[in-house]
């Protein structure tokens, strides 16, 4: 499943991106709200993790009389906020990002991350259209569980995907894979690979396309890792579960 992470603190973003990819998510990371908005508006991400205090977007510019540069939270200190008649909530780029996405009818499940845990902040995030709210520092296992939960909540999009002439199925609601009726244990990356193929049944994917979607554009290893994971899935399911053709790539066996 594709996931958009918008977090400006690389000390958090780097290990979190790696953990999410290990769990099977195809992660795109943006370091500010403006680039996050551009990515989010593509409609490619059913899941989003948004930091609340983000630079890059100004809220209600006409009312404040400030331009985008002045509204960048990273450039203002507390005294400047009070002197300008603004409070910190008005500089929450993550909340403004979510507002604009919801206004554009983007229905992705949204998890907010913040260093502040006040009830008013949590209520604001949920009222804007967020699905969950976690306070930093957080446990990665809890964050992953929360993502699974909010994925299920919105999951009319998590239909059962069948393949292999009905012998195989993938249920995105509980992230399970079955073959001939029996549940098959797969790793996060194996799941992400199979899900990507099934979401575009009939389409051939090159090795490079699968690498960028599942391992990320910044992956420094060999593209042959894709072949390795295809081999893992074929062993666990059946050789015919994933088709390959020289010069075209891979695709899931059709129903």
Q: What is the pLDDT of residue 81?
A: 38
- Long-range Cβ contacts of 38-42 (<8 Å, 24+ apart): 39/4, 40/4, 40/6, 40/97, 40/101, 40/106, 40/108, 41/101, 41/104, 41/106
Tell which wins on pLDDT, 157 or 19: 19
List domains and CATH numbers for the chain.
2-153 (3.40.50.2300), 160-252 (1.10.10.10)
The tens digit of pLDDT for each residue in 214-251 reads: 887 677 778 899 999 999 999 999 999 999 999 999 99
Are 165 and 201 in contact, with CB atoms under 8 Å apart?
no
Stretch 45-66: mean pLDDT: 67
Encoded tokens for 178: 């079955």
pTM over 0.85: no
Q: How confident is the model at residue 66 (pLDDT cuts 50, 70, 90)?
A: very low
Q: Is the pLDDT of residue 86 over 50?
A: no
| pLDDT given for residue 217 in this prediction | 66
Question: Within the chain, what is the greatest distance between any pair of CA atoms?
Answer: 67
pLDDT at 51: 93
């Amino acid at each position: 499943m594709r996931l958009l992470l918008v977090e400006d603190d690389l000390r958090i973003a780097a290990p979190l991106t790696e953990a999410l990819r290990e769990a099977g998510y195809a992660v795109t990371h943006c370091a500010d709200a403006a680039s996050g908005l551009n990515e989010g508006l593509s409609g490619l991400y059913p899941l989003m993790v948004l930091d609340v205090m983000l630079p890059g977007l100004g809220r209600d510019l006409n009312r404040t009389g400030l331009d985008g540069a002045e509204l960048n939270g990273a450039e203002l200190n507390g005294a400047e906020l009070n002197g300008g008649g603004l409070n910190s909530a008005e500089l929450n780029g993550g909340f403004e990002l979510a507002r604009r996405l919801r206004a554009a009818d983007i229905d992705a499940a949204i998890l907010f991350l913040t260093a502040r845990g006040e009830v008013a902040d949590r209520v604001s995030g949920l009222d804007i259209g967020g699905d969950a709210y976690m306070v930093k520092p957080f446990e990665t296992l809890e964050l992953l569980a929360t993502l699974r939960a909010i994925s299920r909540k919105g999951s009319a999009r998590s239909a059962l995907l069948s393949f292999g002439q009905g012998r195989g199925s993938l249920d995105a609601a509980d992230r399970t894979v079955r073959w001939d009726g029996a549940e098959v244990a797969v790793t996060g990356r194996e799941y992400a690979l199979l899900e990507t193929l099934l979401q575009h049944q009939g389409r051939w994917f090159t090795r490079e396309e699968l690498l960028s979607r599942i391992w990320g554009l910044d992956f420094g290893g060999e593209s042959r890792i894709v072949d390795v994971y295809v081999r893992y899935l074929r062993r666990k399911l059946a050789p015919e579960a994933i088709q390959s053709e020289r010069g075209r790539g891979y695709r899931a066996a059709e129903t």
